Chains A and B, each alone.
Chain A
Amino acid sequence: MGVLMSNLSAQETTCLAESKFSETQCVENPGSAKCVEISVVPDPSGKNFIYEWDLGDGTLLRGESIEHCYEQKDAYEVRLHLIDPVSGLIIRDELSKIIDIEDQNPPKIVVADEVIQNTPINIAYKLDGQDFDSMEVYWAFGDGNYSCQPQPMHTYSESGQVELRMLIIGVRSGEETVLCASKTVTIKEFTFDGNTLNDVFEQKEQTLEDRGRFLNDEAHYIIYEKENPKMYQLFLIKDDQYNVLIETEKDYEMYAWKGNLFTPIQSISTKGMTMEESHVKLKSSIDQLFSKEPLHLDGFRFELDVSDPPVKNLDAIAETMKTYAHVNIAIGVYTHTGGRLDKNIILSKQRGQQVKDDLTERGVAEDRLEVVTAKEEHSLLNTCYGVIHCDLEDETLNRKTEFKVIGVLNSTF
């Protein structure tokens, strides 16, 4: 392991990535464009000419800067002619360039929006529909370091934001093609705050089945009339005062959640009580909520190379969500760190969608379930991240599906 890392470091320092970035011009993110904007910077000391562009589809446009939209995707030869404004003399083919409208899918950098400081991260890219005879990949990490490895591993030592850039120089049908991409990455300080799904595994001292890993999460309280679906989130404003005034002669229910933990639903009746007595009742009920054994949206593990989640786990989760009918949950599926990162992300998405579909079939409203996508790359972070050989427990951990409450239904406010 140590030898391998040393070799990687040596390659990173001796590769030509830095000079490639400074020497190579690249149009980033051409997307599925069919329109082009072409311009040349005239030589300021040169003679004045009229610039005429033959766009290769029968279109002639004049100007130092032109825009054109092609009707069909194809490879077009764009040629620049110069016209002497005095004599009308035409100098043909000053410049020509093949514009491939068809194959302009840009590469996509596959890395999390947010990464953790001093934590090795895998950096990869996706390049769909582009076949090269040969290609080289260069990376500029944005912190002064470069790499020539196609899928490098890198550790950011400083927190903050960096512009991660990549450059692909490939040969396709004898023609050099340059593609590039960039992505802003936020490097966060390493914390154990437990607020997000992605870093729960960083807490090494806790076991897989530790149900207390969301203890640092903020508790959320909701209350609603038993016969009325209208629900309120309950906040302590100051001292014993809350943002919701409960009424007398009513039957309420309340519960709280914290991470993936739900308190049992507790009934509160204010019948026969004064307003003051009702508030005392509310406060004592809140204090008792977490004194009882909470329910869990228990995660489960996909078995290796098995696409279907365990049925009994899905049944239990569906039942819990029906009971706690006011909340939405996020589904995050982790994969093990073996194999290619981009494939693991696809697998994570596919499995997350599978869980969502299975829960929907069990009666959970579809709009209450969100497959975590914004943090999708984060879902691949874990304690063995960056380690070539993980032990079995870590690998098993990586295939875990997690659930977490992410808020209440909009319609209930």
Chain B
Amino acid sequence: MKIMKQILTVVLFLVVITSQAQRVPNESENIDYLMTFGKDASGDTGDDDHVQIFFFVIPHNYEEPIYLRVFDPEVGGKHDEIKGTANTKMKYSIYGGTGTFSNEDARQIDPKGEYKSGNLLFSKVFDNRASYDSKWHTFGPINPLEGEASDVVSGRVFKIIAESLTGDDGNGYRYFLSVDPNRNLSVQGANAFAYEYTFKLPARNTISHIYPFIDNSVVSITQSNFDFDKNGEILIYSVAKNRHVGSISGDNTWSSSKHDIVEGEKNTTMDVQILKRDASQNTMSVYIMNQYNQPIPFFAVPIGGPPKYKYDLNLNFKKQKDK
């Protein structure tokens, strides 16, 4: 654990100097919307647990009020998947203070135990009312000091949980951590991360990216994906892996593949590339475990920037006559 703390301290230092935007999903991920389906929805919707947990980390020295904004929070209009009658209610809850991040249950892939740890700061339930369709709802102001101070990530951590209360419809939405209640203005040095990610895949022949950070302790990862409908490819890309093919799931199933980590990949960001083949609408879930079966966080803004595979390039100059 001590080692982990040291590693994540380094991680946050990088976060502070690299991240400037807190849209979730981030533009660099090429994912348009988070998706959470109603608790009565079946697994073939792509949402395995109907709960989505995200963490926001803010630099220790940031003391101005912040606002957590949710785009299209209701379930019944654009960006949502309505199954018959729009009958889904969605609850957003923001947590801060002790246990928000440090509670181990909060850092798991499944919402079990004390995952709602910490002090509840704000909460609101949305149904199908059109007044929030394609609109922003702002939580806050939030006092940065109300976040859980964590040496592990060198900042103050807030948690937002989106969970369905009723229904079977799909809710598409975004987050933005802002310094302004009415506009999306980034908090300098902040970032967001999650341990499981449920999202709507973009259109045909596009590549979505998920950016887990591989710390020094990782010797292998296992990527798991749910309900991909075998509609494309999942590729593991890093400084040392040029798109290793990962296992892909079918309809309403999980699939996993293990990938060894080489020395050069440690302390770097990995890029899990998801290539969607056709234009059908699809939601899927993804998580990644290390060799100890501990979930590895995905960062909205890739730590150190997106990885670039180090090609072994051979360049030889030849005289014209030698050709």
- For A27, give the chain B residue with the smallest CB separation: B315
B292 within 8 A of A: no
Contacts of B313 in A (CB 8 A): 38-40, 95, 97
Other-chain residue from B244, B277, B318 in contact with A46 (beta carbon distance below 8 A)? B244
| A side interface size, CB within 8 A | 33
Interface members, chain B 112-168 (any A CB < 8 Å): none
Separation of A47 and B248 alpha carbons in the complex (Å): 14
Q: Given A27-B315, A30-B317, A35-B317, are A46 and B275 also a contact pair (CB < 8 Å)?
A: no
CB–CB B319/A89 < 8 A? no
B233 within 8 A of A: yes
- How does the 8 Å CB contact mask read for B261-287 relative to A, with 1 for contact and 0 for none? 000000000000001010000000000
CB–CB A31/B244 < 8 A? no
Other-chain residue from A33, A49, A80 in contact with B318 (beta carbon distance below 8 A)? A33
Other-chain residue from A31, A84, A95 in contact with B319 (beta carbon distance below 8 A)? A31
B243 within 8 A of A: yes
A34 within 8 A of B: yes
A175 within 8 A of B: no
- How does the 8 Å CB contact mask read for A19-40 relative to B, with 1 for contact and 0 for none? 0000000010111111111111
Other-chain residue from A33, A40, A49, A99 in contact with B312 (beta carbon distance below 8 A)? A40
| B side interface size, CB within 8 A | 24
Q: Given A87-B277, A89-B207, A89-B275, are A47 and B245 also a contact pair (CB < 8 Å)?
A: yes
Least distance between B250 CB and chain A CB atoms (Å): 18
Contacts of B2 in A (CB 8 A): none
- For B323, give the chain A residue with the smallest CB separation: A35
Q: Given A41-B312, A95-B311, are A36 and B318 also a contact pair (CB < 8 Å)?
A: yes
- For B316, give the chain A residue with the smallest CB separation: A37
Separation of A18 and B320 alpha carbons in the complex (Å): 34
Q: Given A35-B322, A47-B235, A47-B243, are A41 and B317 also a contact pair (CB < 8 Å)?
A: no
Contacts of A38 in B (CB 8 A): 313-316
Separation of A41 and B275 alpha carbons in the complex (Å): 23
Q: Given A33-B317, A36-B315, A36-B316, are A87 and B323 also a contact pair (CB < 8 Å)?
A: no
B205 within 8 A of A: yes
CB–CB A31/B317 < 8 A? yes
CB–CB B241/A45 < 8 A? yes
A143 within 8 A of B: no
15 interchain pairs, CB-CB under 8 A = A30-B317, A33-B317, A35-B322, A35-B323, A37-B314, A38-B314, A39-B313, A40-B311, A41-B311, A41-B314, A43-B241, A46-B242, A46-B244, A87-B205, A88-B205
Other A-B pairs, 19, CB within 8 Å; known A34-B320, A67-B318: A33-B317, A35-B318, A37-B314, A38-B314, A40-B313, A40-B314, A41-B311, A43-B241, A43-B309, A46-B244, A47-B233, A47-B242, A47-B244, A84-B275, A87-B275, A87-B277, A89-B275, A95-B313, A97-B313
